[in-house]
Amino acid sequence: MLFLVLSSTEMPTLKRLAKTKSFWILLGLVILLCLFYSEAKKDRREVAKLTSGEVELCITCHQEVVPEKVHDKKVVGCSSCHLGNPYTLDLKEAHKNIVKNPGDLRYVNLTCGQPGCHLTEISKVKNSLMATNHGMIKRVVEVFEEKEVLSLYPKLSVSQLYHQEVYHKTKNSLGLDYYRKLCGSCHLWLEKGKLPYFLKEKGGGCTACHSVKEKDETPNSSRKVHPKLVRYPPMENCVRCYNRSGRIGFTYQGLYENEQGGIGDEVWVDGRWLDRVSPDIHFQKGLSCIDCHTKEEVMGDGNFYYSLHEALEIECQTCHGGDGTTKKGRKLKNFYKKGKQAYLESKGSEKRVLIKKPVKACSLSYHKRLTCVSCHAKHMPDCYGCHIKYDPRDTHLDKILAKETKGLWIEHESYRRLALPTLAVEDNQRVVTVTPG
């Protein structure tokens, strides 16, 4: 048997060695723990605790950037709008009965229109012309002399066109076929994203107006960004629909859709060339569509209207020479008076614009029949020789069915001009501006 005898001078060396070895082992364990914690932290899932004290697990998986403050996710959460089951991490259970777009009018009573939210607004919106499109439908059907359609459905609205029974009873109507294919994407019942190309941005109920796309400004970020909800819709959202027929959305901004014979100053999302011309004075002053048009005009006041003229309540004289009261007796909330001066405040930018009073010529007896725009409108787009051709052999995208169906509509025109407005006389003998076409 071999015995190792250590001298007293060698003992401290071994002790130091043991201590050094323990140190490195301990250091290694600390490093491993740090690495483990770092990885665990990366994998740690977020749980949202709302101000109400409730807990939601939605953002445990959904890591989208939510930039808005109107409906803060820490206040209303996700399920208040999107429904589903926020208390489970099981994909199938969590997404059961979930709603991608809470503003869709098909589900809005369960989302935006639930008690405590926007219940009153929802009932009015569904009866608004933007939701019913009755004025457009009625006019097109009358032009095609199909009175039997309106006899069958006196208050025919676009929501009814989605019903199979209505479709089968009216499928032989050329007027409704024309509407479905050339007009049927500009209403609130359209499911957002259902139509192709640039049309996918249209529709969506409440979100057609009250949502805007946002981008993550973080460098090299690939995170999705939740659409931002806004109280006051930007003009861009309005012009998605108001860019055909009278082209008022273009004219207001100082854009003119030329004859497409050459390159313009700008190109619209659908490929149309636009020329830059002088814009409306209200646009120059920084005012948007909703700064003049009231909530009741746009979102409805609860009444069913047969035409746009019935729904409109704003007039030039509401502000110019008036006290900010519309012809239906509603007071503009963004109209102010300071001394003898009147101002209109932009709802978005909060910029105040001085309102000029009408000159004496406006009150002369022989000017009483003239509407303000009959003199003050600088120019309007006129389309002469406009006509349509129908080819039953070809197909066309039906915006209601979201698929190609038999029957192609082709629009033609002789020429187009940007000129002084054409004047006409209404039934009440008032002189107004009209757009030929």
| pLDDT tens digits, 113-153 | 999 899 999 999 999 999 999 999 999 999 999 999 999 99
Residue-wise burial string across 168-198, b where 16 or more C-beta atoms lie within 10 A, e elsewhere: eebeebbbbbbbbbbbbbbbbbbbbeebeee
What average pLDDT does this structure show over 14-21? 59
Q: Which residue reads 């919106």 in tokens?
A: 125
Backbone angles phi, psi at 172, to 5 degrees: -90, 0
Residues 137, 158 contacting (CB under 8 angstroms): yes
Percent of the chain with pLDDT over 70: 89
Alpha carbon separation from 22 to 11, 12, 16, 29, 434 (Å, rounded) = 17, 15, 10, 11, 93
Query: Rounded to two decimals, what is the model's pTM?
Result: 0.85
**Residue 163 corresponds to which tokens in the numbers above?**
């019903």
**Residue 64 corresponds to which tokens in the numbers above?**
């989208």
Q: Which class for 25: exposed (0-12), middle (13-18), buried (19 or more C-beta within 10 A)?
A: exposed
Q: In sequence order, what are the beta bridge partners of 412?
A: 387
What is the separation of C-alpha 298 from the centre of its chain, rounded to a whole number of angstroms? 13
Residues 398, 181 contacting (CB under 8 angstroms): yes
Which of 430, 311, 426, 331 lies closest to 372, judged by CA? 430
How far apart are alpha carbons 223 and 384 in whole angstroms?
Answer: 49
What average pLDDT does this structure show over 24-30? 74
How high is the pLDDT of residue 6? 43
How high is the pLDDT of residue 392? 97
Helix (H, G, I), strand (E, B) or coil at 26: helix
Residues 102, 71 contacting (CB under 8 angstroms): no
What average pLDDT does this structure show over 409-417? 91
Number of domains in the chain: 1
What average pLDDT does this structure show over 341-358? 95
Q: Determine the residue type at 407.
A: G
Residue 11 lies in a domain: no
Which of 287, 307, 303 lies closest to 238, judged by CA? 287
What is the separation of C-alpha 18 from the centre of its chain, rounded to a whole number of angstroms? 72
Helix (H, G, I), strand (E, B) or coil at 200: helix
Q: Using the Cα atoms of residue 259, residue 262, residue 265 and residue 271 in order, give the sign of their dihedral.
A: positive
Residues 250, 256 contacting (CB under 8 angstroms): yes
Residue 351 lies in a domain: yes
pLDDT tens figures, 209-246: 999 988 766 766 777 888 999 999 999 999 999 999 88
How far apart are alpha carbons 93 and 111 in whole angstroms?
Answer: 19
How far apart are alpha carbons 338 and 345 in whole angstroms?
Answer: 13
Residue 169 lies in a domain: no
Residue 82 reports pLDDT greater than 80: yes
How high is the pLDDT of residue 177? 98
* Domain limits for position 342: 316-357
Give Rg (Cα) of the chain: 32
Beta strands in 15-150 (DSSP E): 48-49, 55-56
How high is the pLDDT of residue 312? 95
Residue 420, number of CB atoms within 10 A of its CB? 12
Residue 166 lies in a domain: no
How high is the pLDDT of residue 2? 42
Residue 350 lies in a domain: yes
How far apart are alpha carbons 62 and 95 in whole angstroms?
Answer: 12
Residue 322 lies in a domain: yes
How high is the pLDDT of residue 332? 97
Q: What is the rounded (10 degree) CA torsion for 374, 380, 384, 390?
A: -110
Bridging pattern class, strands 422-425 and 335-338:
unpaired
Residues 296, 314 contacting (CB under 8 angstroms): no
What is the separation of C-alpha 14 from the centre of its chain, rounded to a whole number of angstroms? 78
What average pLDDT does this structure show over 276-290? 97
Backbone angles phi, psi at 387, to 5 degrees: -155, 165
What average pLDDT does this structure show over 155-179? 96
Residue 159 reports pLDDT greater than 80: yes
Residue 340 lies in a domain: yes
Q: Which residue reads 């491993």 in tokens?
A: 32
pLDDT tens figures, 311-328: 999 999 999 999 999 999
Residue 271 lies in a domain: no
Q: Which residue reads 């869709």 in tokens?
A: 104
How high is the pLDDT of residue 48? 66
How far apart are alpha carbons 163 and 50 in whole angstroms?
Answer: 40
How high is the pLDDT of residue 224? 83
